């Protein structure tokens, strides 16, 4: 299937699903889109023999899309830049201690707690999943997904301070998650070189600090370029070009594209663009990026929903997925509670806030993309399917009930 046909099919299906949700189902945007996508996928699977053409087309479409590359190397930069562009840097500074604690200690703690819990449970149930793969699963499922989190937070009534913490964590925890994922993947690969402390530090510096540096430099260049023109079209084109350059250079230099996009968005979103002369033009600029964000979010959640057509659900996978869903919540609760108790004065969180932080820690497409990037092994399919089950539970169940949880704990 050629590129233009793939894009046409994705946009057309996304438009149809968005229409059905808005016209009939009326669920919140991201949740409604993924629910309708799942229903469509189930219908196609059930009627595959009756309408083989539809089944073949959707299967061909999903198989033609490199989900990992499309999300991590292309879409994610735009989504994170758009989200960071509207993020208040002043509020983020005020909550810097809990955000940093959750995006580092929280992710590391959650990875190992989840990994050991899953290994214990699968061993007890005689499911073959080695410890290193349980930890690898923990590394890809522990970081909260910024796309899912920020799209759901827009519709919820989370207290402002907690909203900043949850959103800031989701934007910044990719560096830690990617580092753990890459290191554990190298350990799992028997042909890889020995992973030393110096190698780990070098990898961390390259991914995290390299990504931040790329984002800062890109934002400065874009800002100075935009200040020298008074044409709105040129300003928008410069911002689009900047995000694309970040994605291309980030992939070439092997630095974190998410952190680069977030850094650039935070700088440009919290800097007055002298080139945009009026408040209305500033408003239009942010609205354009909000529109890009909403459109790409819709397409992404449609892609996640349609993945079920090619997802390898077999005998033990549902059980592992349900265990993983429970363990990821337990691991998040413990990885938040421990730093909160140790750093009580800095974090300033009570147990009600911890409850909201746990339930608002949504997983999304990034976890599925990382699972798809795993090298072929006897354990890839079980991790991929279980990741998909966790993501669906996270977006649909946690997303739909977040407002009720907040209301119950806050009021």
Distance from first CA to last CA of the chain, Å, rounded? Answer: 53
Which pLDDT belongs to residue 314? 55
In whole angstroms, give the CA distance from residue 160 to residue 139.
Answer: 28
Positive or negative, the Cα torsion across 157, 161, 164, 170? negative
Mean of all residue pLDDT scores within the chain: 86
pLDDT in tens, 204-219: 788 889 999 999 999 9
pLDDT score recorded for residue 278: 61
How far is the C-alpha of 380 from the C-alpha of 252, rounded, in Å?
A: 26
Between 91-95, 305-309, 368-372, the lowest mean confidence (pLDDT) is in: 305-309
Residues 252, 255: Cα–Cα separation, whole Å: 8
Tokens of 253: 């230099």
Burial class (CB in 10 A: 0-12, 13-18, 19+), 155: middle
Burial of residue 209 (CB within 10 Å: 0-12, 13-18, 19+) is: middle
**Per-residue pLDDT for 347 more than 60?**
no
- Kindly indicate the confidence band of residue 391, based on its pLDDT and cuts at 50, 70 and 90: very high
Percent of the chain having pLDDT more than 90? Answer: 43
Burial of 404: CB neighbours in 10 Å, binned 0-12, 13-18, 19+: exposed
pLDDT digits (tens, 9 = 90+) for 286-333: 899 999 999 998 999 999 888 887 776 655 688 899 999 999 999 999
Residue 190 token pair: 């028997």
| Secondary structure letter of residue 51 according to DSSP | S
Going by the DSSP 8-state scheme, the letter that residue 155 receives in this structure is: T
Say how far apart CA 405 and CA 255 lie, in whole Å: 37
More confident residue, 287 or 273: 287
Specify the residue for token string 């996304």: 14
pLDDT of 312 reads 66
267 pLDDT above the threshold of 60 = yes
Phi and psi of 378, rounded to 5°?
-65, -10
Max avg pLDDT among 135-139, 197-201, 307-311, 398-402: 135-139
Kindly state the greatest CA–CA separation across the chain.
66
Residue 139 has a pLDDT of 94
pLDDT band at 190 (very low <50, low <70, confident <90, very high): low
| Token pair listed for 327 | 């363990």
The C-alpha R_g of the chain, in whole angstroms, comes to 21
The whole-number pLDDT of residue 275 equals 46
Q: Decide which of 243 and 58 is more confident.
A: 243
Q: Does residue 183 surpass a pLDDT of 90?
A: no
Q: Under 8 Å CB-to-CB from 119, ≥6 apart: which residues?
A: 129, 130, 131, 134
C-alpha 224/C-alpha 210 separation (Å) is 21
Residue 193 binned pLDDT confidence (cut-offs 50, 70, 90): low
Can you say whether residue 357 is alpha, beta or left, with left for phi > 0 and alpha for psi between -120 and 50 degrees?
Answer: alpha
As a 3-state breakdown, the chain gives helix, strand, coil percent values, each rounded to 5, of: 80, 0, 20
pLDDT in tens, 119-170: 999 999 998 999 999 999 999 999 998 888 887 887 777 888 888 999 999 9
CA 108/CA 103 separation, integer angstroms: 9
Which band of pLDDT confidence, cut at 50, 70 and 90, is reported for residue 16? very high
Q: How far is Cα 270 from Cα 106, in angstroms, rounded to an integer?
A: 27
Query: What average pLDDT does this structure show over 76-93?
Result: 90
Supply the pLDDT for residue 52: 80
Question: Positive or negative, the Cα torsion across 62, 66, 72, 75?
Answer: negative
Cβ 117 vs Cβ 186: under 8 Å:
no
Give the SS3 label for residue 240.
Answer: helix
Mean pLDDT within 279-288: 82
């Amino acid at each position: 299937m050629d590129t233009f046909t793939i894009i046409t099919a994705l946009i057309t299906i996304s438009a149809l699903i968005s229409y059905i949700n808005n016209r009939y189902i009326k669920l919140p945007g991201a949740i409604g889109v993924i629910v309708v996508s799942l229903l469509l996928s189930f219908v196609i699977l059930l009627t595959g023999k009756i309408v083989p053409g539809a089944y073949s087309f959707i299967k061909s479409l999903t198989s033609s899309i490199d989900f990992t590359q499309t999300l991590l190397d292309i879409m994610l930069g735009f989504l994170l830049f758009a989200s960071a562009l509207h993020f208040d840097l002043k509020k983020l500074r005020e909550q810097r201690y809990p955000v940093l604690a959750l995006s580092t200690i929280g992710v590391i703690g959650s990875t190992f707690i989840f990994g050991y819990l899953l290994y214990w449970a699968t061993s007890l149930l005689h499911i073959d999943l080695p410890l290193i793969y349980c930890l690898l699963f923990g590394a890809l499922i522990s970081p909260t997904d910024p796309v899912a989190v920020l799209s759901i937070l827009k519709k919820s009534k989370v207290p402002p301070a907690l909203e900043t913490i949850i959103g800031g964590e989701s934007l910044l925890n990719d560096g830690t998650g990617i580092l753990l994922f890459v290191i554990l993947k190298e350990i799992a690969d028997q042909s890889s070189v020995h992973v030393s402390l110096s190698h780990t530090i070098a990898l961390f510096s390259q991914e995290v600090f390299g990504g931040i540096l790329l984002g800062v430099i890109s934002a400065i260049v874009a800002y100075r370029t935009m200040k020298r023109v008074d044409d709105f079209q040129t300003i928008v084109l410069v911002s689009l070009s900047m995000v694309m350059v970040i994605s291309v250079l980030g992939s070439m230099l092997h630095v974190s594209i998410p952190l680069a996009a977030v850094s650039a968005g935070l700088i440009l979103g919290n800097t007055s663009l002298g080139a945009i002369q009026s408040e209305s033009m500033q408003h239009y600029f942010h609205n354009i990026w909000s529109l890009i964000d909403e459109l790409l979010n819709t397409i992404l959640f449609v892609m996640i929903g349609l993945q079920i057509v090619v997802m390898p659900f077999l005998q033990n996978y549902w059980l592992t997925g349900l265990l993983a869903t429970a363990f990821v919540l337990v691991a998040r609760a413990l990885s938040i509670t421990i730093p909160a108790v140790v750093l009580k004065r800095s974090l300033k969180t009570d147990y009600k806030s911890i409850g909201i932080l746990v339930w608002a820690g949504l997983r999304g497409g990034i976890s599925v993309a990382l699972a798809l990037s795993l090298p072929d092994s006897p354990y890839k399919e079980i991790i991929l399917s279980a990741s998909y089950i966790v993501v669906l539970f996270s977006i649909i169940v946690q997303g739909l009930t977040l407002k009720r949880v907040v209301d119950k704990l806050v009021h």
